[in-house]
């Protein structure tokens, strides 16, 4: 039993949901805004999002896409155009009905009845239809294909139950929209973007994910195929962290996106769409956080190194600051993972220990304290967030490198933190997937004996469709389970489906999910 006194008052083991909220508060990532279901993303949380944006945007551009910007408002008639879309999205949405406020004569304001819109406008929940309208204008011939676009934007889905980062009425995301000449090319592109998401999640966010196809019942409305990456949180639940859709000609037919092929014939384009959102930050928290707060992978940390001079409001402070400035100057000229090292010298007023724990809770990968004694000894006191405690003593595991040693080692230290975080998460994930489940009873037992955090189960199934699938979904729903996806590149199953008893045709992951 360790005598470590962790930085948070609530532990993952005790109340995972409360722990999640505590990390967000203590790491100062975001807070409720007072506007229903919307959050304020604070500097450290937004800084992580900026890093995610920069890295994912580079990957999206490297695969040939160009960024654009489409209106936030979508005419109501766009949603009427397709019955399928109406069934899918046209439910909880923010609807703009008026374009003016006027005084109510009593010091208050009301929507001006004279300024009612002829056609209401919907605040975009996603932009397939309005991109579709433009694609129909932009595409004439095969020469205009493929059309590869992406936008970074805010979207709104009116949510009844919200949870910060995971499900908020407004959220930030990127949405890619592409048009292709053939089904084959569009399907291939759907998988290219799925692979971009997998690489981004694993290499940038250190989130091990399973890439695979969603079952029919989990498809995006209007999609022919929906693919996802799924990550396991520390409570064993799955988080869908990104999706990529092959839309066939469904949206093309609705918006009339046609092209003249090389032979002069007119054809509908095949389209795709794919998105990743601020939800990713929820995934980072629940994968890497611990009882001391957040742990940010170095690649997406706004600052990878935070230097805390132990100032005492005395004349000696000048020398200490100079020592720290010098260290910062050396570190920022170093490169780690292909970019200059990001270093903050935090000179804000406050007690040294309080500031240290503040940065530990925020999850800065490396925290460096420098006091008078460190300076005299020509060293610094370094804490790695991923190796925070000396398990024997129960004290923080400070190292004491010289500035020169630290400068030499910073790149490999950050590499090792990034790789270690991924490795730890992957090992843990793999250990929490139950394989060898051959019956529905076994599945039920696994989840129904009151155990917490039991992870995922890998089962074989016969890929039922229609009503047969609905029965499976209902059965799983009783256990609060869902089918996550069909993992790619797995060997052909040899047994029988645990739901239907028929010969199995593929593997699926089953789990509780966010």
The residue ranges that bind its own copies (CB under 8 A) are 31, 33-36, 38-43, 46-47, 49-50, 66-76, 79-80, 86, 90-101, 103, 107-111, 120-123, 130, 133-134, 137, 143, 149, 153-154, 156, 158, 170, 172, 348-350
- Least separation in angstroms between CB 428 and its own copies: 31
| CB nearer to its own copies: pick between 99 and 451 | 99
d(CA 52, CA 297): 11
| CB nearer to its own copies: pick between 72 and 479 | 72
d(CA 248, CA 180): 10
Residue 5 half-sphere exposure toward CB, CA atoms < 13 A: 1
| CB nearer to its own copies: pick between 55 and 513 | 55
| CB nearer to its own copies: pick between 11 and 98 | 98
| CB nearer to its own copies: pick between 132 and 396 | 132
- Least separation in angstroms between CB 25 and its own copies: 12
d(CA 110, CA 108): 7
Q: Which two tokens stand for residue 31?
A: 């807070």
- Least separation in angstroms between CB 53 and its own copies: 10
Alpha helices in 200-316 (DSSP H): 250-255, 279-288
| CB nearer to its own copies: pick between 194 and 310 | 310
CA distance readout (Å), 7 to 19, 20, 26, 42, 421: 12, 14, 9, 21, 20
Cα end-to-end span (Å), the chain: 32
Classify burial at 287, counting beta carbons within 10 Å of its beta carbon; exposed 0-12, middle 13-18, buried 19 or more: buried
Q: Which two tokens stand for residue 253?
A: 């037919």
d(CA 442, CA 445): 5
DSSP 215: P
d(CA 272, CA 41): 30
Q: Do strands 258-260 and 39-41 pair parallel, antiparallel, or not at all (unpaired)?
A: unpaired
Are 211 and 490 contacting, i.e. CB atoms less than 8 angstroms apart? no
262 contacts: CB under 8 Å, gap ≥ 6 = 142
- Least separation in angstroms between CB 165 and its own copies: 12
| CB nearer to its own copies: pick between 94 and 411 | 94
- Least separation in angstroms between CB 290 and its own copies: 25
- Least separation in angstroms between CB 509 and its own copies: 33
- Least separation in angstroms between CB 134 and its own copies: 6
| CB nearer to its own copies: pick between 79 and 389 | 79
Are 30 and 45 contacting, i.e. CB atoms less than 8 angstroms apart? yes
- Least separation in angstroms between CB 163 and its own copies: 16
Q: Check the CA dihedral 85-86-87-88 and report its sign.
A: positive
DSSP 10: S
| CB nearer to its own copies: pick between 185 and 415 | 185
d(CA 226, CA 248): 11
Are 413 and 385 contacting, i.e. CB atoms less than 8 angstroms apart? no
| CB nearer to its own copies: pick between 145 and 201 | 145
Q: Do strands 66-67 and 147-156 pair parallel, antiparallel, or not at all (unpaired)?
A: parallel
- Least separation in angstroms between CB 149 and its own copies: 7
Are 248 and 220 contacting, i.e. CB atoms less than 8 angstroms apart? no
* CA Rg value for the chain: 26
Among the listed residues 37, 112, 120, 40, the one whose alpha carbon sits nearest the alpha carbon of residue 80: 120
| CB nearer to its own copies: pick between 50 and 188 | 50
- Least separation in angstroms between CB 514 and its own copies: 21
- Least separation in angstroms between CB 58 and its own copies: 12
- Least separation in angstroms between CB 427 and its own copies: 34
| CB nearer to its own copies: pick between 94 and 437 | 94
Q: Which two tokens stand for residue 429?
A: 């994930």
| CB nearer to its own copies: pick between 344 and 479 | 344
- Least separation in angstroms between CB 22 and its own copies: 18
Among the listed residues 365, 363, 369, the one whose alpha carbon sits nearest the alpha carbon of residue 350: 369
Please name the residue that has the structure tokens 């967030």: 385
């Amino acid at each position: 039993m360790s005598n470590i006194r962790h930085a948070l008052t609530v532990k993952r083991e005790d109340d995972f949901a409360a722990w999640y909220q505590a990390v967000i508060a203590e790491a100062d990532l975001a807070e409720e805004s007072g506007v229903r279901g919307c959050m304020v993303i604070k500097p450290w949380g937004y800084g992580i999002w900026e890093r995610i944006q920069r890295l994912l945007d580079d990957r999206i551009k490297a695969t040939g896409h160009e960024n654009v910007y489409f209106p936030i408002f979508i005419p109501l008639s766009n949603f009427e155009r397709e019955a399928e879309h109406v069934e899918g999205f046209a439910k909880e949405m923010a609807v703009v009905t008026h374009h003016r406020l006027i005084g109510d004569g009593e010091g208050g304001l009301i929507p001006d009845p004279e300024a009612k819109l002829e056609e209401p406008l919907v605040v975009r929940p996603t932009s397939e239809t309005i991109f579709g309208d433009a694609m129909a204008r932009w595409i004439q011939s095969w020469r205009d294909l493929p059309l590869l676009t992406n936008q970074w934007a805010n979207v709104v889905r009116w949510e009844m139950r919200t949870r910060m980062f995971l499900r908020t009425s407004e959220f930030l995301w990127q949405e890619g929209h592409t048009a292709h000449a053939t089904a084959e090319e569009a399907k291939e592109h759907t998988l290219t973007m799925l692979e971009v998401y997998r690489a981004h999640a694993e290499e940038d966010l250190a989130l091990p994910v399973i890439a695979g196809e969603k079952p029919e019942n989990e498809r995006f409305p209007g999609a022919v195929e929906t693919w996802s990456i799924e990550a396991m949180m520390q409570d064993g639940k799955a988080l869908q962290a990104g999706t990529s859709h092959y839309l066939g000609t469904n949206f093309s037919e609705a918006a009339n996106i046609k092209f003249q092929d090389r032979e002069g014939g007119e054809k509908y384009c095949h389209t795709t769409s794919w998105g990743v959102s601020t939800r990713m930050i929820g995934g980072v928290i629940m994968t890497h956080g611990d009882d001391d707060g957040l742990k940010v992978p170095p690649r997406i940390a706004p600052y990878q190194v935070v230097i805390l001079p132990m100032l005492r409001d005395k004349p000696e402070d000048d020398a200490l600051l100079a020592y720290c400035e010098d260290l910062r100057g050396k570190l920022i000229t170093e490169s780690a993972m292909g970019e200059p090292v990001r270093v903050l010298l935090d000179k804000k007023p406050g007690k040294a220990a309080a500031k240290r724990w503040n940065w530990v809770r925020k999850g800065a990968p490396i925290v460096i304290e420098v006091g008078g004694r460190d300076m005299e000894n020509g060293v610094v006191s370094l804490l790695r967030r991923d190796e925070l405690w000396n398990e024997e003593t129960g004290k923080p595991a400070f190292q004491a490198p010289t500035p020169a040693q630290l400068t030499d080692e910073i790149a490999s230290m950050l590499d090792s933190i990034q790789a270690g975080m991924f490795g730890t998460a992957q090992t843990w994930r793999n250990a929490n997937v139950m394989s060898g489940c051959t019956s529905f009873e076994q599945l039920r037992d696994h989840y129904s004996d009151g155990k917490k955090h039991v992870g995922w189960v890998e089962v074989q199934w016969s890929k039922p469709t229609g009503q047969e699938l609905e029965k499976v979904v209902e059965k799983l729903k009783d256990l609060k389970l869902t089918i996550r996806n069909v993992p790619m590149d797995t060997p052909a199953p040899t047994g029988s489906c645990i739901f239907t008893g028929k010969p199995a045709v593929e593997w699926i992951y089953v789990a509780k999910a966010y």
